[in-house]
Homo-oligomer: A and B are copies of this chain.
């Protein structure tokens, strides 16, 4: 008697040829955290471990057809990554609406680790208006949190920004502060979960290197843990633990940012 497929996480994300980030990274993180990834590419990219140099959004009709073809897999969670233009963002919205009640984890990928802008102010607004009401947990870093709340001026009031996004219909927000340390606490990375009824913080020892794909890893791990049935705060904690382990055991490529080590390279011969 064959074992049934692990809980399926539907991933809508960009493709990164390096394997550090994007849908390949998502698939690795989801597998390592007990799920099975079904992936719909939203954009192809040209990049290396330094920066992104080109983004080509995928045909939104193709995205919809892929989702239609996957309808015989039972989707247990959805993970959203890069959405680089309006047609693919709208296709993502339509695809999410095919799966009512399925938890949605959204990582608002707005800028590459190397600094390249991957989005626009118009797209940020569309993201907030169209997608946020469908999102169970958003995982912005502090730069992305600020970009999604341009009407709030205070530079460090993350709570006010999170409350503003929660009021748009998003159920919870995990703000990561890897990119931008909270003043006075530079040795730790502080991640804060905001939801209507609670705020919770975790601290992790800051690693000295820059990494390529840490945000994808975290969001996909949360989606996988929700897919297997964990409750949100536990899923967030497990995913942070997993991500920190991947980074602390990460690899140094010949040049550029370090790459997460999401899979035990245990050869089964």
A31: which B residues are within 8 A, CB to CB? 28, 263, 265
A72 and B256 contacting across the interface, CB-CB below 8 Å? yes
A interface: dominant SS: mixed
Q: CB-defined interface of A45-60 with B at 8 Å, one 1/0 digit per residue?
A: 0111110011010110
* A54 CB contact (under 8 Å) in B32, B38, B65, B252: B65
The residues of B that contact A35 with a CB separation of less than 8 Å are: 265
Give the contact-size bracket for chain A: 35 or more
Q: Select from chain B the residue with minimum beta-carbon distance to A52.
A: B69
CB of A181 closer than 8 Å to a CB of B: no
> CB of A241 within 8 A of chain B?
yes
Pick the most buried of A5, A23, A48, A242: most chain B CB atoms within 10 A of its CB.
A5
Shortest C-beta distance, A258 to chain B (Å), equals 6
> Nearest Cβ distance between residue A85 and chain B, in whole angstroms?
16
Q: Does A40 contact B (CB under 8 A)?
A: yes
Task: Verify if A184 is at the interface (C-beta below 8 Å from B).
Answer: no
Each complex incorporates copies of this chain amounting to 2
The answer to whether A17 has its CB under 8 Å from any CB of chain B is yes
Closest B residue by C-beta to A249: B3
Checking B242, B254, B267 against A267 with a beta-carbon cut-off of 8 angstroms, the contacting residue is B242
Looking at the assembled complex, report how far the CB atom of A208 sits from the nearest CB atom of chain B, in whole angstroms: 10
Q: Whole-angstrom distance between the alpha carbons of A6 and B38 in the complex?
A: 25
- CB pair B54–A62 under 8 Å, yes or no, is yes
Of the candidates A33, A48, A258, the one having the most CB atoms from chain B within 10 angstroms of its own CB is A48
Chain B positions within 8 Å of A66 at CB level: 17, 44, 46
Contact of A4 among B2, B50, B53, B251 (CB under 8 A): B251
* Contact indicator per residue, chain A 174-216, by CB within 8 Å of chain B (1) or not (0): 0000000000000000000000000000000000010000000
Q: Which residues of B contact A133 (CB under 8 A)?
A: none
Q: Is A39 an interface residue (CB 8 A)?
A: yes
When distances are taken between beta carbons in the complex, the residues of chain B under 8 Å from A44 are 41, 58, 62, 66
B18 engages A41 (CB within 8 Å):
no
Cα distance A56–B217 in the bound complex, in angstroms: 28
A-B contacts, 7 listed (Cβ < 8 Å): A2-B209, A4-B253, A15-B15, A27-B28, A41-B41, A56-B59, A242-B269
